Amino acid sequence: MGYVFDLRGVLSGQYLDWFLIGLATTLALTCAAWCLAMTMGIVLTLIRMIPFRPLEWFVALYVEYHRNVPLLVQIFVWYFGVPSLLPRPARQWINVHHGEFLLATIALGLAAAAYVAEDVRSGIRSIPKAQNEAARSIGFGYLGAMGYVVLPQAIRIAVPPLINQTLLLFKNTSLAMAIGVGELTYRTREVESYTFKTFEAFAVATAIYLTISFGIMACGAYVGRRLKLETV
């Protein structure tokens, strides 16, 4: 085909900067959304423990909405839809303060929170009732049994799925490009449109994504092995 594969053009000067900024933005978005997801996930889990029907329905609805609506559509609802409902000063504030990044973080974080809540719930449910009974038989109340016996074991079980969620969150940040967030995929397209070296540009981005993804996967495998408890 007579095509020369030349990485130098793509990795020099300002194009390299664009890649790095893109990577930095991707990582920043991942971290911000992750913090939101973990916080919200814990909040949802706590709400679930309150034996009040309407609250249980609320959490169920929250989880089902975020699991059945595509993430891209959720991002659009937040970015295009929500600001139109807010009063003008709020909208202006959002516009000035990196609106796309903020709203993308919210969308990604809240969506991941639904999965976090489900993973923690699965972890708790997988602990046999007998463990709770044994703890209660020693004299622990509900909170003691939960805090010292059930949750420590549930969290060990929930960590590998949670690390998987982190991987998904990292990959999903690429969707933010659709609303103009300058993360890695967005910048890659910029580089590609300026240099016309499509293959090289995407190869670089692919390498970066794969490196970090494999890192997270390896982390998950390692942690999974360390936390494994032999069945008693």
Distances (CA, A) of 20 to 8, 11, 105, 130: 15, 10, 20, 52
Q: Is 87 a binder of other proteins (CB under 8 A)?
A: no
Phi, psi of 50 (to 5 degrees): -75, 120
Angle, helices 13-49/99-126, rounded to nearest 10 degrees: 40
Q: Among residues 36 and 150, whose Cβ is nearest to other proteins?
A: 150
CB-hemisphere CA count at 13 Å for 229?
11
Residue 68 in contact with other proteins, rule: CB under 8 A:
yes
Contacts of 39 (CB under 8 A, 6+ apart): 113
CB of 1 to other proteins, least distance (A): 8
First vs last C-alpha separation in the chain: 63
In the complex, minimum distance from the CB of residue 166 to other proteins, in angstroms, rounded to a whole number: 12
Dihedrals phi, psi of 196, to nearest 5 degrees: 60, 10
Closer residue to other proteins (CB): 39 or 213: 213
28 sits near other proteins (criterion: CB under 8 A): no
Q: How many CA atoms lie within 13 A of 96 on its CB side?
A: 6
- Measured in residues, the chain has a length of 232
Q: Which stretch binds other proteins (CB under 8 A): 16-24, 43-51, 102-110, 168-176?
A: 168-176
Tell me: does residue 17 bind other proteins (CB under 8 A). Answer: no
**Does 125 help bind other proteins (rule: CB under 8 A)?**
no
**How far apart are CB 70 and other proteins at their closest, in Å?**
4
Which residue ranges make up the site for other proteins (CB under 8 A)? 64-65, 67-74, 76-77, 80-82, 84-85, 115, 130-131, 133-141, 144, 148-149, 152-153, 156, 164, 168, 171-175, 177-178, 185, 189, 198-199, 202, 205-206, 209-210, 213-214, 217, 229-232
